[in-house]
Amino acid sequence: MNVDELLKRGLAQEFLSAEEGVFLFENAPTAKLMFVANELRKIQKHNSKKVTWIIDRNLNTTNVCIANCKFCNFFRIPGHPESYITDLATYKKKIEETIKYGGEQLLLQGGHHPDLGLSYYVNLFRDLKKYVPTNKITCTWAT
């Protein structure tokens, strides 16, 4: 495989295999990847000079989890002295900080707490939307 040939194919919007993508990840200089990515952005956005992004923040609902994922160093078992469930006051403080720095989105994530059912999350989302109705609240889960 050849880095320049793969990047040329990428610029032509040709399909690259997973193996070719891994090869580029491991071998292509970052500057070349950035150039190709920017050129593809221009194609998709019809040469617009406008580049956008979103400022968001991850907030953890809880570190209590029973999933026992082998890669996770974050979780605590139920009843552990370091376990927590984030309270509404903490959410409000973190939301205010996020807005202060131009944040527009909250990403809620956390463990699989055996005692927190659907009603807990429904109430949490309702309370957060009441507090900041213009913010988008997205929920991601650790699995």
The pLDDT value recorded for residue 44 is 86
Residues whose CB is less than 8 angstroms from the CB of residue 29 and which lie 6 or more positions away in sequence, other chains included:
3
Does residue 125 surpass a pLDDT of 90? no
What's the whole-model pTM score? 0.63
Does residue 102 surpass a pLDDT of 70? yes
Backbone angles phi, psi at 38, to 5 degrees: -65, -40
The pLDDT value recorded for residue 29 is 95
The pLDDT value recorded for residue 120 is 93
Does residue 115 surpass a pLDDT of 90? yes
Average pLDDT estimate for 88-115: 89
Does residue 11 surpass a pLDDT of 80? yes
Does residue 106 surpass a pLDDT of 90? no
Average pLDDT estimate for 83-94: 94
Cβ-based burial of 68 (10 A; exposed 0-12, middle 13-18, buried ≥19): exposed
The pLDDT value recorded for residue 109 is 87
C-alpha–C-alpha distance, residues 125 and 99, integer Å: 17
Does residue 107 surpass a pLDDT of 60? yes
The pLDDT value recorded for residue 143 is 43
